[in-house]
Amino acid sequence: MSGYVTLTGTNFEAEVLESSVPVLIDFWASWCGPCKMIAPFIDQLADEYTGRIKVGKVNVDEEQDLANRHGIASIPSLVVYQGGNIVSQKTGAVPKQEIEKLFKSFI
């Protein structure tokens, strides 16, 4: 698979809040059709921006606490963190260019 990290309640602080690069988080679920539609885009961006951003994935079924902390009501939801803070977010299946716009100005 691609160069992303699976985020959990256990590693969230170290992987996201303490990250030295922006972190794109994909909140998804295995049963979500739109999540499957954007998954290849997320994987491509993880590869294209290796070292400049970190990509994390949160399975909302397995990590309900993380999803609740972020107020995730619909998936896919994309959240970008920089310096331990949320700097942009978008919900729904969007083209690769729209996903890239979420973090590009922060690298």
Q: Which one from 35, 75, 78, 102 is the annotated catalytic residue?
A: 35
Q: Which one from 23, 25, 32, 38 is the annotated catalytic residue?
A: 32
Say whether 32 is catalytic: yes
**Who's near 37: CB < 8 A, 6+ residues apart?**
93
Say whether 77 is catalytic: no
> How far apart, in whole angstroms, are the C-alpha atoms of residue 17 and residue 32?
27
> How far apart, in whole angstroms, are the C-alpha atoms of residue 85 and residue 92?
21
DSSP 15-42: IIIT-SS-EEEEEE-TT-HHHHHHHHHH
* Catalytic residue positions, numbered: 32, 35
